A and B are shown apart, each in its own frame.
Chain A
Amino acid sequence: MTTDTAPAAPLAETVLEATDVVMRFGGLTAVNQVNLTVRQGEIVGLIGPNGAGKTTFFNCLTGLYVPTSGVVRYKGQVLPPKPHLVTQAGIARTFQNIRLFSNMTVLENVLVGRHTRTEEGLFSAILRGPGYRRAEAESRARAMELLEFCGLSGKADHLARNLPYGEQRKLEIARALASEPGLLLLDEPTAGMNPQETRSAEELVFAIRDLGIAVLVIEHDMKFIFNLCDRTAVLVQGQKIVEGDRETVQNDERVVTAYLGEPLEGTTTATEADQ
């Protein structure tokens, strides 16, 4: 498992392409003209202060919100504005506040994630023919593989609600991976985790990248982001102000301003020079 940020191949396929995405709620523009591209095999970070519109942008990508204007393409195709169709197309996500099916078992949670990749309907469930049994057995085997991948194989029969917090996060990722996505959106995957848990989450994300799945991750933990991401975009008040590697972002005055506030008058001229 690699821990260094491996540079993406220069001409890798574009997985996600968001063009001029705008999301308005009445008079409030939560996301304003955001462009973002994610290529195959990349880990892209999305940071920004609270209320910057990161999660809203995620929701626009996954069909939970229909953008006021702008286009989101997945592998060249315009995404339909329905969450289940977006998942069908190949984008899976996790949620900022964990949204597991808490009264289902761990294995069942992952099996629900397989929903789009299986097609057994009501009648085949009632008749239970050989085709149904095969598909069900295959789903279970795949789900167990994913649990092992995420380090949860011993807990398949536990209720999701009884897992410790860090493992619930992992289970959410396993569930998202079950839909065999080409792009995984992680919304604050390490929120509330202790350093060890953060570390194992980091390794998990690298392992996912190594599977060939592009990852777009929202996070507040800068160390985590800069360890992990090939590129990082910064969203402030709905607008993307900068995008680039670690140095570009860390040295950008507007990013510092957004996080730490305007410097006192006369102490710096860099911001003014930029404008």
Chain B
Amino acid sequence: MTTSSQKFAASHETTPVLRLPGTAALAAAVAGGVLAAASAAMSWTWTDQFPGDLTYYGSPAGLQWPALVGGLLTALLALAAHGLKGLRWLSPSGSHNGVLFAALGTLAVCWYSVIAITVQLDGLVNLDPGGWVAAVGSLLAVVGALGLPLDRRRTVKQTPFAPWWYLVAGVAVVLRVGFGQGWALNAVPPGVRPLFTENLWFFVAVPVVILGFRLWQLLDAWLRIGRIERPLPAARALPSWAEILVITAVFALGLGVVEFGISTEYGELFIGFLLLAVFATAALLAGGTVARLSELTTRHRAVTTGAAFAAAGAFPFTQSSETYVLIGANILIFATVALGLNVVVGLAGLLDLGYVAFLGVGAYAAALVSGSPYSVFRGLHLPFPLAVLIGALAALVFGVVIGAPTLRLRGDYLAIVTLGFGEIFRIAMNNLDGRSGPSLTNGPNGVAAIPDVNLFGFDFGRPHDFGFVQLGKFGNYLLLMLVVTAIVVVVFGRVANSRIGRAWVAIREDETAAEAMGINGFRVKLIAFALGATLAGLAGAVQAHVAGAVSPDQYQFAGPVPPNSAFLLAAVILGGMGTISGPLVGAALLFLIPAKLQFLQSYQLLAFGVALILLMRFRPEGLIANRRRKLEFHEAELPAQGGPTDDALSKAGA
């Protein structure tokens, strides 16, 4: 502990960015936060034209909720970091950085709302006093937070910025004006002129990106604040029932947050939610709350898993409409398949770009025996458990058949071949329609009208009453899917930490050395491939019943709708390779973000891409990294396990 804090002190200093009197800064941060929070109870605009109807006094609505939460969080964190008794648990590391992040999040939400109101309703006149209070309050909080003693890096590591980039930006602006007014077109041959006149955005995007990057650099050099986690003091021991209570409370809170995110009804609210979620996470990370929590959850692993599943299971009961429950069920399917892919990619290190085909095999196999009138086996209606088993087995066979010839390849070659097989599956399903091939899959029409699952007389297609609440069709399926997810989680958790799991990781780390240790590389990789395929098949069988239909186009390499190979891989990598919760969280985000960004229309994928780039920039090891990955990417920032002399020795020796 002492060495890590010495190391921290050597590379960081604790100084304010703005030189304000200490009490004034604290007062400003707290007052700003309280003002922003209080503004949520005021009217922000006079008309209900703006989505969410922010015209009420006395009760928050829409975007005012994130402002309320952000403001309160800022004020509380400021008091906690100051050392107010009874609040220390909120900021265990005692760092003030969390205050700044929370204040920035509040600022982002409030100013985004105010600007959106001004732009959409055309003019500042549309702002009511509440809007002004929110804007001024959040700004005050940020100024106050900048005056607090913040943990800052002593040095700024930056790639040099060549001045000629300004020239590029300038030229782009000139060209934008020139093409807009027409005079620059004379320099271009007539044939290609539309190329320039129709893509004027490019000449705006270039300077925006260049200047944005430069601004970021300047800001970073000024603040010198980033991903800084102060070493935590040892925790005060709590009785274990209290710790379990804390875990339960955290998951209940998490359920509330996720539910809010899923059921945001319009794009502005989701953006506000996302802004606050990102900054609040950063704030809690900086304050050490997250680290403290993960200490707790590792100590009570079983309780944590149980609480997570309980929270997921409670979700459909909190929803009055089926729309968001369906989203929840689809997230679970997507997440389960991502966890299956994590066996192949995260543990065994085999880059599989055609993984969605196994989901498809499972779905098709289950659909064909489900009793659908469009299936070639029309009369066959197997009970659901049997259909799931057939789906999983079909995927297993398919996995072995594809894996056996391809797994002799390594690295990029394997990726290309699996990509090819993934596409072959889709095209084959398209053509097995009785005209261009044997009749099996009904071609592009797919297998539709799959009857609902009926287990022991429980009809999943009908709503059922559970005490006070009614659970609709998709609620039933969500709970069914949750069982499948639980199975996959258990399988993954047990296998990852076993002889075979260690063999996979060894193969991923160094195949030659692994073989020299007596591991039959081919056999072990084939097992990984087959297990991954089986888990996907399992999820696919349920997916076919949830969606009620399967068609070839659901199983593409890449597309705007989640379960496709590219998204699955992204979920695994963004979430955190080799962990259980990583792909689950990554999948949930990757499903929600595009679904909620639909209001951006044609810019949806662009915004999604930007979100991905930002994620990879700030957390290259994935949202939830295991210890290994964290060390891989942030070794310099973490307290090293060996002393500096050890490092020097190993470098000299190597």
Contact among B500, B509, B516 with A93 in the assembled complex (CB-CB below 8 Å): B516
Contact with A along B501-538 (1 / 0, CB 8 A): 11101100110111111111100000100010000000
Q: What 18 new A-B contacts, CB under 8 Å, besides A62-B516, A104-B509, A115-B519?
A: A64-B515, A83-B515, A84-B516, A93-B516, A100-B510, A103-B505, A103-B631, A113-B517, A115-B499, A115-B502, A116-B517, A125-B498, A125-B501, A132-B498, A158-B641, A179-B517, A179-B518, A192-B652
27 contacts between A and B (CB under 8 A): A64-B516, A84-B518, A87-B516, A98-B654, A101-B505, A101-B509, A101-B513, A104-B628, A111-B499, A112-B502, A112-B506, A114-B499, A115-B503, A118-B499, A120-B499, A121-B500, A122-B495, A122-B500, A122-B527, A162-B640, A162-B642, A162-B646, A163-B646, A165-B650, A166-B649, A166-B653, A192-B653
Q: In the docked arrangement, what's the CA distance between A103 and B318, Å?
A: 42
B85 close to A (CB within 8 Å): no
Q: B632 — nearest CB in chain A belongs to which residue?
A: A103
Interface size on A, residues (CB 8 A): 49
B236 close to A (CB within 8 Å): no
Within 8 A of A (CB), among B625-654: 627-629, 631-632, 640-642, 646, 649-650, 652-654
Binding site for A on B (CB under 8 A): 490-491, 494-495, 498-503, 505-506, 509-510, 512-521, 527, 531, 627-629, 631-632, 640-642, 646, 649-650, 652-654
Q: In the docked arrangement, what's the CA distance between A83 and B640, Å?
A: 35
Q: In the docked arrangement, what's the CA distance between A28 and B506, Å?
A: 33
A273 close to B (CB within 8 Å): no
How many whole Å from B511's CB to the nearest CB in chain A? 10
Q: A109 — nearest CB in chain B belongs to which residue?
A: B506
Q: B515 — nearest CB in chain A belongs to which residue?
A: A83
B520 touches A99 (CB 8 A): no
Given contacts A99-B510, A165-B654, contact A112 B646 (CB under 8 A): no
A87 touches B650 (CB 8 A): no
Q: In the docked arrangement, what's the CA distance between A192 and B651, Å?
A: 10
How many whole Å from A141's CB to the nearest CB in chain B? 15
B517 touches A175 (CB 8 A): yes
Within 8 A of B (CB), among A40-93: 62, 64, 82-84, 87-88, 92-93
Across-interface contacts of B629 in A (CB, < 8 A): 103
A226 close to B (CB within 8 Å): no
How many whole Å from B342's CB to the nearest CB in chain A? 16
How many whole Å from A174's CB to the nearest CB in chain B? 12
A128 touches B499 (CB 8 A): no
Across-interface contacts of A122 in B (CB, < 8 A): 495, 500, 527, 531
Chain B binding surface SS class: helix
How many whole Å from B389's CB to the nearest CB in chain A? 16
A104 touches B491 (CB 8 A): no
User: Interface centre among B498, B510, B517, B531, by most A CB within 10 Å?
Assistant: B517
Q: A127 — nearest CB in chain B belongs to which residue?
A: B494
Across-interface contacts of B516 in A (CB, < 8 A): 62, 64, 83-84, 87, 92-93, 95, 99
Across-interface contacts of A176 in B (CB, < 8 A): 517
Q: In the docked arrangement, what's the CA distance between A88 and B512, Å?
A: 15
A95 touches B515 (CB 8 A): no
User: Interface centre among A83, A87, A132, by most B CB within 10 Å?
Assistant: A83
Across-interface contacts of A128 in B (CB, < 8 A): 494
Across-interface contacts of B649 in A (CB, < 8 A): 164-166
Across-interface contacts of A111 in B (CB, < 8 A): 499, 502
Contact among B498, B628, B653 with A136 in the assembled complex (CB-CB below 8 Å): B498
A102 close to B (CB within 8 Å): yes
Across-interface contacts of B491 in A (CB, < 8 A): 126
Contact with B along A192-219 (1 / 0, CB 8 A): 1100000000000000000000000000
Q: B530 — nearest CB in chain A belongs to which residue?
A: A122
A34 close to B (CB within 8 Å): no
How many whole Å from A39's CB to the nearest CB in chain B? 23
Q: A93 — nearest CB in chain B belongs to which residue?
A: B516
Q: In the docked arrangement, what's the CA distance between A193 and B70, Å?
A: 56
Q: In the docked arrangement, what's the CA distance between A143 and B474, Å?
A: 49
How many whole Å from A79's CB to the nearest CB in chain B? 13
Q: In the docked arrangement, what's the CA distance between A112 and B506, Å?
A: 7
A258 close to B (CB within 8 Å): no
Across-interface contacts of A126 in B (CB, < 8 A): 490-491, 494-495
A239 close to B (CB within 8 Å): no
Q: In the docked arrangement, what's the CA distance between A158 and B627, Å?
A: 11
Contact among A87, A103, A120, A164 with B518 in the assembled complex (CB-CB below 8 Å): A87
Across-interface contacts of A82 in B (CB, < 8 A): 515, 520
How many whole Å from B313's CB to the nearest CB in chain A? 23
A232 close to B (CB within 8 Å): no
Given contacts A101-B510, A111-B502, A165-B653, contact A125 B517 (CB under 8 A): no
Q: A172 — nearest CB in chain B belongs to which residue?
A: B513
Q: In the docked arrangement, what's the CA distance between A64 and B632, Å?
A: 29
A159 close to B (CB within 8 Å): yes
Q: A103 — nearest CB in chain B belongs to which residue?
A: B628
Across-interface contacts of A101 in B (CB, < 8 A): 505-506, 509-510, 513-514
Q: A114 — nearest CB in chain B belongs to which residue?
A: B499
How many whole Å from A224's CB to the nearest CB in chain B? 16
Across-interface contacts of A158 in B (CB, < 8 A): 641-642
A159 touches B631 (CB 8 A): yes
How many whole Å from B39's CB to the nearest CB in chain A? 49
How many whole Å from B289's CB to the nearest CB in chain A? 25
How many whole Å from A183's CB to the nearest CB in chain B? 13
A32 close to B (CB within 8 Å): no
Q: In the docked arrangement, what's the CA distance between A191 and B505, Å?
A: 27
Given contacts A64-B516, A165-B650, contact A120 B503 (CB under 8 A): no
How many whole Å from B636's CB to the nearest CB in chain A? 13
User: Interface centre among A102, A161, A163, by most B CB within 10 Å?
Assistant: A161
Q: In the docked arrangement, what's the CA distance between A98 and B650, Å?
A: 11
Given contacts A125-B501, A126-B495, A164-B649, contact A84 B527 (CB under 8 A): no
A17 close to B (CB within 8 Å): no
Q: A155 — nearest CB in chain B belongs to which residue?
A: B641
How many whole Å from A169's CB to the nearest CB in chain B? 9
Contact among B495, B506, B642 with A163 in the assembled complex (CB-CB below 8 Å): B642
Q: In the docked arrangement, what's the CA distance between A92 and B519, Å?
A: 12
Across-interface contacts of B628 in A (CB, < 8 A): 103-104, 159
A164 touches B650 (CB 8 A): yes
User: Interface centre among B498, B503, B519, B627, by most A CB within 10 Å?
Assistant: B498
Q: Which 5 A-B pairs rank lowest in CB-CB distance, beginning with the nearest?
A: A116-B518, A87-B518, A125-B498, A192-B653, A165-B653
How many whole Å from A188's CB to the nearest CB in chain B? 12
Given contacts A99-B512, A159-B628, contact A104 B518 (CB under 8 A): no
Contact among A88, A104, A193 with B506 in the assembled complex (CB-CB below 8 Å): A104
Q: In the docked arrangement, what's the CA distance between A191 and B650, Å?
A: 12
How many whole Å from B392's CB to the nearest CB in chain A? 14
A120 touches B642 (CB 8 A): no
Contact among A83, A84, A139, A193 with B653 in the assembled complex (CB-CB below 8 Å): A193
Across-interface contacts of A120 in B (CB, < 8 A): 498-500
Across-interface contacts of B509 in A (CB, < 8 A): 101-104
How many whole Å from B642's CB to the nearest CB in chain A? 5
A115 touches B518 (CB 8 A): yes
Q: A99 — nearest CB in chain B belongs to which residue?
A: B513
Given contacts A122-B495, A192-B653, contact A84 B521 (CB under 8 A): yes
Given contacts A99-B510, A121-B500, A165-B653, contact A112 B517 (CB under 8 A): yes
Q: In the docked arrangement, what's the CA distance between A68 and B67, Å?
A: 75
How many whole Å from B121's CB to the nearest CB in chain A? 54
